[in-house]
Amino acid sequence: MRDALAQGLVRFDANGQIEPGLAERWIVIDGGGSYIFRLREAKWNDGTPVTAEQIVPILRRLVSPRSGNPLAPFLTAIDEIVVMTPQVIEVRLSRPRPDLLKLFAQPEMAIINAKHRGTGPFRIIRSGPPPLLRPIPDLRRVDPDEAATPKPEDDVRLIAESPARAILRFARGASDLMLGGRFETWPLIDAAGVGSTAIRVDPAAGLFGLSIAERDGFLADPANRQALSAAFDRASILAAIAPNWDATDRLLPDALDSDAPPQIPGWALLTLDERRAGARTRVTAWGKPVRLRVALPQGPGANLLYGQIGATLLAIGITPERVAEDAPADLRLIDAVAPFDSARWYLATACAPCGPAAQAAIEQARLAPTLATRSAAIATADAAVNADTPFIPLARPLRWSLVSGRLRQYQTNIRAWHPLNRLRADTN
């Protein structure tokens, strides 16, 4: 809803690439230390003009550590956001950040004024529920004389409901699109009888695995955490939930902005039997019963996941206990799509919590003054996090949608993000 009614300086297109939002163009100067955005002529949803003087205080609030914005911890390199002219904004950085535009394209960075108004690409014409959205003509793309009245078929009725209802609605032909599919709802597709041509799986980049949420008892020792990570048969776990879901045993998908290849766990060359034997030995050596609470969401896919995790823990002598995803836990599922392509996001997200050495290494990467020193610091941080083992990677996030044939512009992408104004070739 936020992405439909409001946009930032830039936004994502159907392929997950950067396109203009409120800014019609931009330049990067001072070796990546300054981004200058020129605003297009735009209006708030009530028809009043948008100016740089209005946007700058909103941006300052969004990047503030006190804003509650989940992206704020990754925007700390921003020193100043200033008005240069009524149509030009400069973002000044203390350290170069080549990934700034991808952060600014996230819906969390959409510009909404004090009257809770955005600038489109849609506006609400009937509040609902469910709300009915109508495109705001984009004069950069269409002839003004032809854009006065959008056609009724351009309207979008946005329905928020349970996954089961949404899948059934699509299967019955009562909707054109279902967004937001995740691993826990994947098994519902077969039960609804949805045709395979309608299922679109995004090649989402991000993290899917178990965070070591409590570092006490058996999990206080990094060697025990490594043995636990080694015990999982990732391919079998994922195959029990969804076909063709690729497993991973490392934190980073590739080098990204690190100057070294991703760290590989030391146990990667051992057989599964060897890894599990080593884990059982460590559990036995602990000398007292080991019980681990596993926090997972609800849903049939999560039930299957817990069955696989529980069986693994039992096989090495650990008693599992499933708890709610917001309850105190020893192991907690992280299922998150990366908002931008930096190894620091993976390390910082997985490091919750992690030891002092790993935390210090990640902080050094954040504060690195140049891209070269940042890349070296990220490689050091990857090694420190690998040694600390705060996270058990299993796969990349599973994100899927159900898409009707008439939404020809729908594209899968690594952001798993699908703007409502980029679904049909004839919309703005």
Question: What is the per-residue pLDDT across 91-149, written as a single tens digit (0 to 9) for each?
Answer: 999 998 988 999 999 999 999 998 888 998 999 999 888 999 999 886 555 555 555 56
| Helices assigned H by DSSP within 140-211 | 163-171, 188-192
Q: What is the amino acid identity at position 134? A: R
Q: What does DSSP assign to residue 424?
A: S
In a domain? residue 417: no
pLDDT at 167: 96
pLDDT at 407: 93
Order of strands across the sheet that contains 23-29 = 23-29, 34-39, 88-93, 78-85
Q: CATH number of the domain that 218 lies in?
A: 3.10.105.10
Do 254 and 327 lie in a common domain?
Answer: yes
Please check the confidence at residue 206 and state whether its pLDDT lies above 70.
Answer: yes
Please state the domain count of the chain: 3
- How does residue 184 score in pLDDT terms, banded at 50, 70 and 90? very high
Region 59-73 average pLDDT: 94
In a domain? residue 428: no
pLDDT at 375: 96
In a domain? residue 410: no
Query: What value does the mean pLDDT of the chain take?
Result: 93
Do 131 and 211 lie in a common domain?
Answer: no
Do 21 and 142 lie in a common domain?
Answer: no
In a domain? residue 268: yes
- How does residue 31 score in pLDDT terms, banded at 50, 70 and 90? confident
Do 356 and 215 lie in a common domain?
Answer: yes
Do 278 and 183 lie in a common domain?
Answer: no
pLDDT at 148: 56
In a domain? residue 411: no
Q: CATH number of the domain that 22 lies in?
A: 3.90.76.10
Strand partners, 81: 91
Helices 343-350, 371-388: axis angle to 10 degrees equals: 30
End-to-end CA distance of the chain: 17
Do 215 and 172 lie in a common domain?
Answer: no
In a domain? residue 427: no
Tokens representing 394 are 């299993």
Do 134 and 111 lie in a common domain?
Answer: no
pLDDT at 143: 57
Note the pLDDT tens digit of each residue in 354-382.
999 999 999 999 999 999 999 999 999 99
Do 287 and 391 lie in a common domain?
Answer: yes
Q: What is the amino acid identity at position 428? A: N
Do 195 and 220 lie in a common domain?
Answer: no
pLDDT at 45: 81
In a domain? residue 266: yes
d(CA 146, CA 143) in angstroms, rounded, equals: 5
Do 296 and 312 lie in a common domain?
Answer: yes
Residue 65: other Cβ atoms inside 10 A: 10
Tokens representing 277 are 């034997």
In a domain? residue 89: yes
Do 351 and 240 lie in a common domain?
Answer: yes
Under 8 Å between Cβ of 334 and 211: yes
Last residue of a domain, one of 81, 115, 149: 115
**pTM for this model (two decimals):** 0.93
Do 160 and 212 lie in a common domain?
Answer: no
What phi and psi values does residue 16 have, to the nearest 5 degrees?
A: 80, 15
Nearest to 233 by CA among 204, 264, 267: 267
Residue 203: other Cβ atoms inside 10 A: 13
The residue range of the domain holding 219 is: 206-395
